[in-house]
Amino acid sequence: MTASPATVARGRADVCPGALQTHAAADGALARVRVPGGLLTGDQLRALAAAARELGDGALELTSRGNVQLRGLASGAEADLGDRLAGAGLLPSATHERVRNVLASTLTGRAGGHVDARPWARALDAGICAEPALAALPGRFLATLDDGRGDVALLGGDVGLRALGPDRVALTLAGADSGLRTTPDAAVALALAATRGFLDERAAQGGTAWRLAELDDGPRRVATALSSSGRHRGQVPSPARVEPLPTLLGEASGPPLVGTPVGTFPQADGRVSLIAVVPLGRLTAEQADLLARLADEVQLSPWRSVVVPDLTEDAADDAAVVLHRTGMVLDAASPWTRVTACAGRPGCAKSLADVRADAARAVATGTLPADGARQHWAGCERRCGRPRGDVVDVLATLDGYRVTAAR
């Protein structure tokens, strides 16, 4: 684990939107609903679809953290939205609603991986919501729960669990291995202890950082405090053996799912899952209702795709046809698996272009820049929603789009 630079001083608290604390966008209020693990029941999906149709602009936006946004909310719609979300079990804590950022491996518990990370996601979310002090976490704080396949472990979580085998779990801090090990049963307790450790270290360093990596030597200090305090119930050796993530990735289990998995995946129980990409992450209320009819539970991925699990092969064939007709993408060769965009005009006042319309036009006409490489279109330098990894930037400027190489 390498030392992080000196503490980053933030002049203000983070203003990440939530379901109740909305953001005033150019097209109305924007609400972000946290979906720990990306896991949504059919009833929850139906409730979100109805809210989008009746309160918002008729669609759900999928985010790079597997969450859902509603746009175009009228002034005063927050109370109605809050009631609907609470009724659907999507708002278990009004005080903690913005800090439930939990990613879990795509397909976990169904195909690949050493463990099922879904119980971790539910337990970690419940643990966060149960502790009043954890309401002070920044809205940008992120937990990643990787079942061993190495997908979400690479997404830079502040705190993360990474299964190394069926009985051994690594704690990651700021996206790197901490050297601490535990068992699957004790893993959530360790992640919660690390989360508390972030707040303690943040307070010791001035109390303004949003992310663990912004603290001076934050990951090492939190790991040292954990291994010396014994205040968690995990079986954790001293952090003597720190392995870089690439070493851990050599132990990955299951299909390589780094990036955008798409298509049909056989499950361990003989059934199959479909993974469909949602172009530009905009899921219409009608598409959401369709997904809710196809599965009792779906999983949203950080790559703006949706897992439709537990299908027979015949049902999967039929579902794939219907999803394709609605505009969802199940072809791994589709350019839509490589194109993302920020909100752009008209939703964002800062945008210099309607980037979504322009990106869609480029896909339709086969004129994507950079030979169709993985790319993110953005209306200004902030590049909201840019995926991690090698991505070409297609940036709106006053003189048209500027295309810069992947970095």
Chain CA centroid to CA 90, Å: 16
Cα 154 from Cα 148, distance rounded (Å): 11
Write down the least CB distance from residue 221 to ligand SF4, Å: 33
Say whether residue 140 binds ligand SF4 (CB under 6 A): no
Instruction: By CB under 6 A, name the one of 197, 351, 358, 394 that touches ligand SF4.
Output: 351
Of 370, 348, 343, the C-alpha closest to 358 is 343
172, 160 in Cβ contact below 8 A?
Answer: yes
Write down the least CB distance from residue 208 to ligand SF4, Å: 22
Write down the least CB distance from residue 73 to ligand SF4, Å: 17
Measured from the CB atom, is 271 or 383 closer to ligand SF4? 383
Measured from the CB atom, is 117 or 342 closer to ligand SF4? 342
Cα 200 from Cα 203, distance rounded (Å): 5
Write down the least CB distance from residue 348 to ligand SF4, Å: 3
Site for ligand SF4 in 378-397 (CB under 6 A): 378-380, 382-384
Q: Which residue type occupies 88?
A: A
Cα 386 from Cα 388, distance rounded (Å): 7
The stretch near ligand SF4 (CB under 6 A) out of 96-104, 106-114, 298-306, 374-382 is: 374-382
DSSP codes joined into one string, 20-52: SS-EEETTEEEEEE--GGGEEEHHHHHHHHHHH
Measured from the CB atom, is 373 or 384 closer to ligand SF4? 384
Measured from the CB atom, is 332 or 349 closer to ligand SF4? 349
| 274 three-class SS | strand
Instruction: By CB under 6 A, name the one of 49, 88, 348, 392 that touches ligand SF4.
Output: 348
Query: Total residues at the site for ligand SF4 (CB under 6 A)?
Result: 12
The stretch near ligand SF4 (CB under 6 A) out of 63-71, 235-243, 303-311, 346-354 is: 346-354
Measured from the CB atom, is 258 or 357 closer to ligand SF4? 357
Q: Which residue type occupies 282?
A: R
Cα 391 from Cα 167, distance rounded (Å): 35
Cα dihedral 105, 108, 114, 119, rounded to 10, equals 100
Measured from the CB atom, is 273 or 351 closer to ligand SF4? 351
Write down the least CB distance from residue 349 to ligand SF4, Å: 8
Cα 36 from Cα 300, distance rounded (Å): 10
Number of helices (H) and strands (E) in the chain: give both, helices first. Answer: 9, 19
All residues at 6 or more sequence positions from 119 whose CB lies less than 8 Å from its CB, including other chains: none
Which residue's Cβ lies closest to ligand SF4? 379
Q: Which residue type occupies 128?
A: I
Site for ligand SF4 in 305-344 (CB under 6 A): 342-344
The stretch near ligand SF4 (CB under 6 A) out of 105-113, 136-144, 196-204, 376-384 is: 376-384
Cα 113 from Cα 163, distance rounded (Å): 8
Name the residues that contact ligand SF4, by CB under 6 A.
Answer: 342-344, 348, 350-351, 378-380, 382-384
